[in-house]
Structure 1
Amino acid sequence: MATGVDVIDSQHKNLLQMVNEAYQGLDKDVSDIVFQRITKELLSYAIYHFQTEEHLMQEYGYFDECPEEAAQHVSEHRDFSAKVVTARDGVNSEVKEEMEEILTFLNAWILNHTQNVDIKLGNFIKNKE
């Protein structure tokens, strides 16, 4: 899952840890309010992470040299954020399966995005250094 860019890899680790903590909360039958807080924190951190990546894209010239890949990358960030908000706002915490589906989506998205999109950015940055 490593991109080779320390700050990105560290943030990915933190994101996955947050998802795992949310899963642990499900085992404790957390309330709707607690689940909302957990997903809000996760979304806030994801946005912070996306800003970090997009800053690096700008700093290393990714937007200029790979405009289509950069645009797709940013688009995936925006789509992810929108899906998390929609899912969070529509979840019924009394239906544990709904919360599990959201967390499964988050985990799968993070892993897929890292392995298929962030790795390209990581390679680009490493080649520039």
Structure 2
Amino acid sequence: MLKWDRKYELGNDRIDAEHRIFLSLIVDFHDAAEQNAPKDKLLRIFKEICKYAEFHFLSEENIMIDHSYPEQEHHANSHRKLLAEANNKLYQLQSDSIGADDAFNFLFNWFAFHTSSEDKKLVGYIENGAKANLNT
């Protein structure tokens, strides 16, 4: 059973809270697929994940602006790419080009890879900046 684990925490309360919600939506999708939910239900959950990701990415980008994050443009570009991929997967799921398992694998890999790479760098930068400010 997929669930939130401390290993997913990055150390920023806001980002971690949003990631918990994001992962819970992915779990909802997985559970619905496992229970053979109607395709319409799966599509609605997938759309909800896309909408939440759009909100979460905007939230992160605001955090980047607040902290003058030097990798902001690169990180925001990865957000745009991920949203485009998600919308493509949604279309594929809708048109039966992929099944729920493939859609779930995409969602989980997206969550795991993006948070462990890009988001970890962002939180590290924020923490180092905060430490630098304490030392001045």
Q: Which amino acid aligns with 1:36?
A: L
Residue in structure 2 matched with residue 71 of structure 1 by the alignment: 73
Cα distance in 2 between the residues matched to 1:31 and 1:60: 44
Q: C-alpha offsets along residues 57-93 of structure 1, whole Å, 9 cap, x if unaligned?
A: 001111xxx2xx3222111111111111111112158
CA shift digits 1:3-49 (9 cap, x unpaired): 21100011111111111111100112122211111011111111111
- Which amino acid in structure 1 is aligned with residue 51 of structure 2? S
1:15 equivalent in structure 2: 22
Aligned partner of residue 91 in structure 1, secondary structure: helix
In percent, how many aligned pairs have the same letter?
28
* Structure 2: gaps spanning 5 or more residues: 1-7, 131-136
Structure 2 distance, partners of 1:30, 1:93, is 17
Does 2:48 match 1:46?
no
Paired position in structure 2 for 1:56? 63
The answer on whether the counterparts of 1:23 and 1:103 sit within 8 Å (CA) in structure 2 is: yes
TM-score normalized with structure 1 length = 0.87
* More relative contact order, 1 or 2 (CA 8 Å, 6+ apart): 1
| 8 Å Cα contact 1:39/1:88 also seen in 2 | yes
RMSD: 1.7
TM-score, with length taken from structure 2 = 0.83
Q: Give the 3-state SS of the residue equivalent to 1:42 in structure 2.
A: helix
Which residue of the partner structure matches residue 83 of structure 1? 85
Answer yes or no: is the 8 Å Cα contact 1:2–1:119 preserved in 2. no
Does the 8 Å contact 1:2/1:9 carry over to 2? yes
Flag as ranges the 4+ runs of structure 1 deviating above 3 A.
Answer: 92-95
Q: Is contact 2:10-2:123 (8 Å) kept?
A: yes
Aligned length: 123
CA distance in 1, matches of 2:90, 2:38: 13
Residues of 2 paired with 1:11 and 1:92: CA distance? 26
